[in-house]
Structure 1
Amino acid sequence: MTDQLEPMPDDWQRALAIVAHPDDLEYGCAAAVATWTDGGREVSYLIATRGEAGIDSLEPGKAGPLREREERASAAVVGVTNVEFLDHADGVIEYGVALRRDLAAAIRRHRPELVLTLNYDDTWSGTYWNTPDHRAVGRAVMDAVGDAGNRWIFPDTDAAPWDGVRWIAVTGTDSPTHATDATDGLERGVRSLLEHRAYIEALTTEDPETYARNLLEGFAREQGKHFGNRPAVTFRLFPR
């Protein structure tokens, strides 16, 4: 990581965040989303699965609808009203043409200037192995942005080609280049994660609010060391 990160661009109006699971955006990025929507920007979410395999104690047929409800409530906390789910199977998403097509079609529908996704590297912090779903979706996002702008690739989608994406921003990466001040959005970021109560309660025996607050405030403080010591959410920014 560089000593001090650049601020994220702010001369945009529409963003589309594309991730694999409900809760992927709430583990850090939602605080930035709250800041952006406060500024009048439009952010939409596209979730590739319904997270149906994410709760060991709950069968997928019940977990999927529950996690979808939790994600919609979570998004509303940070000013996001447009949440779209694809129907890829949780845990076994495959990178390939079918996934690229679904994502390119969504980019064409939403016409974003900024596309967000989650760390798709093999590891987190060089230590913890990343999941196949995160790796597949993140890499497909990077390719689908180009696909969306090419009228000869996936010409049968409902929406016309869109070549207006100006940046792709990857959150959760070990090599960020930019950051957003999370001071004003951090509390709502915590409350957004807390909407995933069933998931958190299955994940840890710790009090959910204590868990969410300690985790997100700790992330923001640590990332802020490279952003003027302000609470921050960091991104690796790829201009186009």
Structure 2
Amino acid sequence: MTEPKTTQLQPMPDDWRRALAVVAHPDDLEYGCSAAVAAWTDAGREVAYVLASRGEAGIDTLEPAECGPLREREQRASAAVVGVSVVEFLDHRDGIIEYGTALRRDIAAAIRRHRPELVITLNHRDTWGGVAWNTPDHVAVGRATLDAAGDAGNRWIFPELTEQGLDPWNGVRWVAVAGSSTPTHAVDATGGLERAVRSLLEHRTYIEALTSEDPESYVRDFLTGNAAATGERFGGKPAVAFEVFAR
């Protein structure tokens, strides 16, 4: 009996100039795809971040009023490591972000503001594959982002955005989902992996609350292990995987 062939991942489309990453919490992009972001900004592409919440419910030992501003600072520092200077927060409540028209409207507005060709988000499915359960916030934001990519181009959906000066943008060509258990494409992480490690380490307060391991060892093992595993389907190079939905 022959072994089934491993499906190889395709290179990500590269004929674009602007990307917008939309996720639920500080650290979502750093766990998911910041090595790819570093490679893109190195190549002169523009990447902006939009976060639905400030992650204020993410650390049990810190009250939300203290935690939110701290995690915002960590996120801005983290983004700067990989060449991202624009970081926006939508101020939905961490832990109870709801999928619906309010979230779709906020994300569609961000897409109209930034006018990206590529939109990036995090796994929108119930699990990470198998029985590893996803969080409601990730599911809500991921799904709303996929929907808002279309909403942003339709002047008759959320017409109030046009009245606010945000003209429709129908230029989103792809939505790329990080953390998917069914990826289709990948980005070479070789040049960006060290900065990805430093970027995730900027979330030190959160990491120290999450694990008793040495933060640098924890971060390096997590990111390099994932990149190596993805690389087995991408020519042996460390890589970041995405499930790409073309529009």
Q: TM-score by structure 2 length?
A: 0.96
Deviation per residue, 1:152-204 (Å, 9 max, x gap): 11111131000000000001000000000000000000000000000000000
**Paired letter, 2:124:** Y
Select 1:127's aligned residue among 131, 148, 171: 131
Alpha-carbon distance in structure 2 between the residues aligned to 1:130 and 1:28: 14
Select 2:43's aligned residue among 35, 39, 42: 39
**Paired letter, 1:211:** Y
Q: Report what 1:67 is aligned to.
A: 71
2:209 maps to 1:207? no
Deviation, structure 1 residue 127 = 2.0
Q: Report what 2:117 is aligned to.
A: 113
Instruction: Give me the identity figure in percent.
Output: 73
Alpha-carbon distance in structure 2 between the residues aligned to 1:223 and 1:57: 35
Select 1:138's aligned residue among 142, 161, 172: 142
5 Å-filtered alignment, 1:10-29, equals: 10-29=14-33
Select 1:177's aligned residue among 181, 184, 206: 184
Alpha-carbon distance in structure 2 between the residues aligned to 1:127 and 1:193: 26
Select 2:160's aligned residue among 149, 156, 174: 156
Q: Report what 1:231 is aligned to.
A: 238
Q: Aligned with 1:15: secondary structure?
A: strand
Deviation per residue, 1:54-101 (Å, 9 max, x gap): 000101000000000000000000000000001100000010010000
Deviation per residue, 1:122-160 (Å, 9 max, x gap): 111212110000000000001111100000111111310
Contact 2:10 2:186 in 1 (8 A): yes
Alpha-carbon distance in structure 1 between the residues aligned to 2:6 and 2:143: 24
Q: Aligned with 1:11: secondary structure?
A: coil
Contact 1:2 1:177 in 2 (8 A): no
Select 2:173's aligned residue among 166, 184, 195: 166
Alpha-carbon distance in structure 1 between the residues aligned to 2:39 and 2:160: 36
Q: TM-score by structure 1 length?
A: 0.99
The number of aligned residues is: 240
Contact 2:32 2:122 in 1 (8 A): no
Q: Which runs of 4+ in 1 moved over 6 A?
A: none
Contact 1:28 1:189 in 2 (8 A): no
**Paired letter, 1:130:** N
Deviation, structure 1 residue 2 = 5.3
2:62 maps to 1:58? yes
Q: Aligned with 1:235: secondary structure?
A: strand
- Gap regions ≥5 residues in structure 2: none
Deviation per residue, 1:188-233 (Å, 9 max, x gap): 0000000000000000010100000000000000010000010000
- Gap regions ≥5 residues in structure 1: none
